[in-house]
Each structure stands twice: as C-alpha cells, then as structure tokens.
Amino acid sequence: MNRRLVNVFSAVCMFAAAAIGNAPEADAATRIMPPPGCGFVRLPQPVGELTARYFHCDDSFILIKFHWSGGNTGTSCVPPYHQRPFFRSDGQTVVNAYYVTTPPNLTGPPSDRRCALSQPRV
C-alpha cells in the first residue's frame, strides 16, 4: 500500500472512531475534517488549542507562509498530501497561510525525502 493511501486511510479511521466512540467529541471531529478544497482553513470553533489547518492536496513538497494575529510571520514545509495544524500561542492565532513559490529545504536520500528542520524565510 502506498504512503499516501495509508495516510488518508489512517485519517479517515481516526475521525470515524472519534465520532462513533465518543458522542460529545463527534462535533469536535467534524470541525477538524478536511474541507472540500485545499489550503488554509480556520476552524469555526477552536478544538483545544487547535485553531486552524493548512491542507496540502498535491504530490509535492511545498513551502507555506503564515501570519500570526500579532503581526509576526513564519514559514513551514508541508509534505505531499499532508496537513499543517496551527495552535494558539501566547494568546495569538494564525490568521492566514498560503503557498509560496520558494522551494522548501528537504533532507534525506532521494527515495525518502523529508522536510528539513530549517526552512527559508520569505
């Protein structure tokens, strides 16, 4: 089974188990499901400290730039078909995140590429 299929299957099982196993948490699981499209999504209501997510729906590594409510910015590498969660920090939340054309820094052999710990600032 390929890696993408395993990731998608795992996510579906996790959300289904949360909805079936714990009725009060069913509403929370619904709030963190992937949207019909891809990209940045603010959650209608925070789930704990989780306030937003960026969904990447392509077979490539990308770099995203995100903006905090206090004005700071950051960048993050997102692997193929993954999501990047954003959590509240010091009372601030991420208010926007978007793809930038700068390539991310990758590490590992060609058969097992991964996002490097250090990413370009844009």
- Predicted confidence (pLDDT) per residue in 66-75, tens digit: 999 999 999 9
What pLDDT is recorded for position 37? 75
Query: What are the backbone angles phi and psi of residue 53, rounded to the nearest 5°?
Result: -145, 155
- Which positions of the chain have pLDDT values less than 50? 1, 6, 8, 11-27, 29-31
What pLDDT is recorded for position 3? 53
Count CA within 13 A, CB hemisphere, residue 28. 15
Query: What are the backbone angles phi and psi of residue 34, rounded to the nearest 5°?
Result: -60, 145
pTM equals: 0.70
